[in-house]
Chain A
């Protein structure tokens, strides 16, 4: 009888990192630059935007004209390899829960290759929410602990924006923002007219040169495809590539992490993984194990790493690993601006995202829901892709076309006229808000199901609460007001009501999930200390969204990056002091 041979790599590294996205990429960058020998494990293939981006492809260069597939859920040109589903890697749902949607980007750089580049600092209040409204928990750190790292990554990575002096949307070290587009000026005029602020967005896109390794934005509006000249932030191009250039990093792609291996004392010794190419089991040993596999994948890895010393899974004597899972909330609405019908053509691509946005502007003490949201705006004369021009029968009977009333539907030269006339008049907006972390909302190991590598999979049990639902209701009311002020006609998103939670997205759908391996001062109620170091295992660290004690009304990537840098510098310090 043959036994499964785990091939242990002979080289002992200073650190093994699982995952090459924002968290793992930053850890690799900081440690490698400091001279540590690092092994970086990535479950997907290698990816370099300079070589592998779909940037500047035309719609007809995709046989499906940019439509989505299971392998590219955000469209054929989007940079993310895989998304909601991966062949052979299932996840399951607890009956009666809201269906949690789990995005997994399998590639070097992970989701940062396609993200919206919205790079918002958490504010002072965001770290201390329990002290303000009694819900969730305070972080064990405050804004003042993270600020120096935000400052560093602003300069290292580059972000545009403006200093507005807002209390909970801190100023930063910004590059100049692009001017608003036409529909953005209209949004701004309408919203500010009803006391909703609209300010320049804060995106990690280079409007000016910051170093010789990266190009400058040339306004193709396609950041989600990843940038060939590295004009925006992707972990692959901005962190992993320079980390590898130091000569201190061995990157292993196609490495599906199975388990963190611990010794008899319970200390981490390394990580075992399945090589997707030869299906064999390997093990990388290191002084320090760093997990940046993504919020849920990191929790899965810990829960699957059971040993005599860690019978509940690694770093889980508290029983919180997998719990407090929460995503940003989301709801949206869209319509058309009749004054934009038949508009003059010019290149309006701009950057790959909004040029303006609305930070949270109200006081929750005066509202019936506890946390805020920000508003993102979109519209404009964008590149037509699959789906463009569909549903004309819902438009051309409703609005006059070049002064003519038409019967809805139709065909021929008249239909061509309609498509041209309505082009560039659609607008929309989405709210992205803060949900409340709740112990009940969690992922756990499914006792019955394994993936194709034989690794037990996650089961999700998450539900939106009244806090999130009332927030979505408020979003819809706000959107309706702004659309009205703007003279827009709402064409979708207006029918939502209590029966569908006011169009509130399922948890996971906004792809900002966090909280599964949260930090805290009390080891009975948290898995990590204030440095992202496991209470139960001092040479194990987490550097992704899993470490968050709570979300904010901000996207989480900038904070993942700042915390990962902070944790990495702490690791350097602790290794130097021989504490770990």
Chain B
């Protein structure tokens, strides 16, 4: 549900919302999407958006391949690139510059490692070759000491891709998060209470709000 629909839902579900109702009736008070930002934030975001891209085309292509290996399409949801995770990574390294050197350097490490093995850059490798390289660095406990920098890089990419994916619209749906909508909390569903052998006390049933 997008934000506007959520706000609409507030009215339709008839939760007392006289303030919003009054605002909704007044066309002058239409709220801009960035009305929650202070001026300093708007300026900062505009500066990032107007600035140069951080990653070059080759780096972005590599990020896309890695992202789709880490979060591929499966029977539940789409892939990282469908969820625009590479764009998120491009933004986040500008917003959090501490990621820049580890990611850029890690991508370089990956190409050098790939070059040593297969005499080509990572993106030019066959899918089987790419997975072969990823398998070397994706399992921290199993990985050989000589690829430890690759393991660190992959840990970072796993973190950024996973968080980017599961905070996207596709990812949140995949996760089954059902909140962020107007609701009436009535306690834990009965079948879940039963599953865990828990129950509300008489005191709770009497004192707590119920709908």
Interface residues of A (CB under 8 A from B): 45, 50-54, 56-61, 63-67, 69, 71-72, 77, 81, 87, 107, 160, 162, 175-182, 185-186, 189, 200, 207-209, 212-216, 218-222, 228-230, 339, 343-351, 381-393, 397, 407-413, 415-416, 419-420, 423
Say which one of B100-108, B114-122, B167-175 lies at the interface with A: B167-175
CB distance from B7 to the nearest CB of A (A): 7
Chain B 177-197: CB-based contact to A (< 8 A → 1; otherwise 0): 111111111111101110110
Further contacts, 15 of them, CB under 8 A, given A56-B7, A185-B188, A413-B74: A59-B172, A67-B92, A77-B36, A176-B208, A180-B200, A200-B208, A207-B209, A215-B17, A228-B10, A229-B19, A389-B165, A409-B138, A411-B134, A411-B158, A416-B74
CB distance from B132 to the nearest CB of A (A): 13
Residues from chain A with Cβ under 8 Å of B149 in the complex: none
Complex alpha-carbon distance, A387 and B167, angstroms: 9
Q: How large is the interface on B (under 10, 10 to 19, 20 to 34, 35 or more residues)?
A: 35 or more
Please judge, given known A-B contacts A51-B31, A347-B178, whether A71 and B183 are in contact too, CB under 8 Å.
no
Interface residues of B (CB under 8 A from A): 2-3, 6-7, 10, 13, 15-20, 23, 29, 31, 33, 35-36, 38-41, 44-45, 69-72, 74, 76-77, 88, 91-92, 95-96, 134, 138-142, 154-155, 158-159, 162-169, 171-172, 174-189, 191-193, 195-196, 198, 200, 204, 207-210
Residues from chain B with Cβ under 8 Å of A215 in the complex: 15-20
CB distance from B21 to the nearest CB of A (A): 9
Complex alpha-carbon distance, A413 and B167, angstroms: 17
A419–B166 touching, CB < 8 Å: yes
A383–B179 touching, CB < 8 Å: yes
Residues from chain B with Cβ under 8 Å of A350 in the complex: 185
B95–A383 touching, CB < 8 Å: no
A393–B140 touching, CB < 8 Å: yes
A389–B162 touching, CB < 8 Å: yes
Please judge, given known A-B contacts A50-B19, A213-B18, A411-B138, whether A387 and B163 are in contact too, CB under 8 Å.
yes
Residues from chain B with Cβ under 8 Å of A344 in the complex: 189, 191-192, 195
Chain A CB within 10 A, most for which of B18, B154, B210: B18
Q: Please, could you name 20 A-B residue pairs with CB atoms under 8 Å apart, sorted by A?
A: A45-B39, A58-B3, A65-B92, A175-B209, A176-B209, A177-B209, A179-B209, A180-B200, A208-B209, A215-B15, A218-B10, A218-B183, A228-B17, A347-B179, A381-B177, A382-B179, A408-B140, A410-B139, A419-B175, A420-B76
Please judge, given known A-B contacts A51-B29, A387-B163, A423-B175, whether A58 and B180 are in contact too, CB under 8 Å.
yes
Residues from chain B with Cβ under 8 Å of A107 in the complex: 38
Residues from chain B with Cβ under 8 Å of A408 in the complex: 139-141
Complex alpha-carbon distance, A151 and B156, angstroms: 52
Query: Closest 9 interchain pairs by CB?
Result: A179-B187, A349-B179, A389-B162, A59-B167, A345-B176, A65-B167, A218-B182, A390-B159, A176-B209
Complex alpha-carbon distance, A222 and B159, angstroms: 25
Residues from chain A with Cβ under 8 Å of B140 in the complex: 393, 408-409
Complex alpha-carbon distance, A571 and B207, angstroms: 39
Complex alpha-carbon distance, A216 and B6, angstroms: 16
Please judge, given known A-B contacts A176-B208, A383-B179, A384-B171, whether A56 and B139 are in contact too, CB under 8 Å.
no
B139, B177, B204, B208: the one contacting A407 at CB < 8 Å is B139
Residues from chain A with Cβ under 8 Å of B41 in the complex: 69, 71-72
Complex alpha-carbon distance, A449 and B117, angstroms: 58
A56, A66, A67, A351: the one contacting B185 at CB < 8 Å is A351
Complex alpha-carbon distance, A207 and B41, angstroms: 34
Complex alpha-carbon distance, A344 and B192, angstroms: 7
Chain B CB within 10 A, most for which of A180, A345, A347, A351: A347
Closest B residue, CB atoms, query A207: B209
Residues from chain A with Cβ under 8 Å of B196 in the complex: 182, 185-186, 339
CB distance from B195 to the nearest CB of A (A): 7
Complex alpha-carbon distance, A423 and B179, angstroms: 14
Complex alpha-carbon distance, A420 and B71, angstroms: 13
A87, A179, A423: the one contacting B200 at CB < 8 Å is A179
B70–A412 touching, CB < 8 Å: yes
